[in-house]
Chains A and B, each alone.
Chain A
Amino acid sequence: MVVIVLKVVASALVVLTTTAIGFSIARRYRDRPRHLRQLQSALQSLATEISYGATPLPEAFASLASSQPAPTDAMFRAAAISLRKPGTTAAEAWQVGLERLLQESAVSIDDLAVIRQLGAVLGLSDRRDQERHLLLVVQHLQREEVRAEHERLQNERMWRYLGVLSGLLIVIVLV
């Protein structure tokens, strides 16, 4: 009797674990297009702040940190805090923000490679040049978003089923 109860509990644990793993992988695929979209709108806001508002970079970062939705705001908050320390360049602060974004959101390292180059431009060249660079990156992110959406359709549901079914498979083999 005790053995049967133990078996049931252990089987449930195995299935639950693999299901959780499958769903967490599927969530990355589901979140990536949304986060890329948020990043685009954030960069567009930054372009507007720079070109029309002529806002200084620390203030622009701070205002984006308070206006952007969940994963993107953390990036600008980290960048703003890092930029407030004396002796930090805009490129270094940008780098700090991107590392934060990589932790918080589902965007990949490849997505960030293009955005990282922006750090060399921000706060150094004139307004039109910065705006042009920002909009170029936004266009790149748009293409990346279409690809991410395609990947999502292909992989999200598969990883969910894969998690549940592989758990069942393990249980069946071990029982």
Chain B
Amino acid sequence: MGINYAVILQVAVFGLIVAVLHTILEKSGREEYAQVLVLLGVIVVMFTVIRWMNDLFSTIRAMFQF
């Protein structure tokens, strides 16, 4: 199967780094920055995922066009 493992790995590493940064920021008493960071991380990952979903829907649409 042509599953692209690289992109999944990319999102995983991204999440890992954001999690570590969140812990560090929270430990040094900057909870508000930690929150903003997590929010930004979610948005970035969401845009990546949206791109894949777009590809998926295009593929499906191409499949069902007679």
Are B25 and A165 interface neighbours, CB within 8 A? no
Residue interface mask B11-39, A partner, CB < 8 A = 1 = 00110011011001101111000000000
**A154 at the B interface (CB under 8 A):** yes
Cα A160 to Cα B20 in complex, Å, equals 13
A169 to chain B, nearest CB (A): 5
Are B17 and A169 interface neighbours, CB within 8 A? yes
Chain B residues, Cβ within 8 Å of A155: 28
Q: Of the candidates A162, A173, A175, which one forms a contact with B24 in the assembled complex, judged by CB atoms under 8 Å apart?
A: A162
Q: How many A-B residue pairs have CB under 8 A?
A: 33
Cα A172 to Cα B28 in complex, Å, equals 25
Chain B residues, Cβ within 8 Å of A165: 17, 20-21, 24
B39 to chain A, nearest CB (A): 14
Given contacts A173-B44, A175-B10, A154 and B17 within 8 Å (CB-CB): no
In this complex, how many residues of chain A approach chain B with their Cβ under 8 Å: the count is 13
Where chain B touches its partner, the secondary structure class is: helix
**A158 at the B interface (CB under 8 A):** yes
**A112 at the B interface (CB under 8 A):** no
Q: Of the candidates A158, A166, A169, A173, which one forms a contact with B28 in the assembled complex, judged by CB atoms under 8 Å apart?
A: A158
A2 to chain B, nearest CB (A): 19
Question: CB within 8 Å of B: which of A148-175?
Answer: 154-155, 157-158, 161-162, 165-166, 168-169, 172-173, 175
Cα A11 to Cα B14 in complex, Å, equals 15
Given contacts A172-B10, A173-B44, A175-B10, A158 and B24 within 8 Å (CB-CB): yes
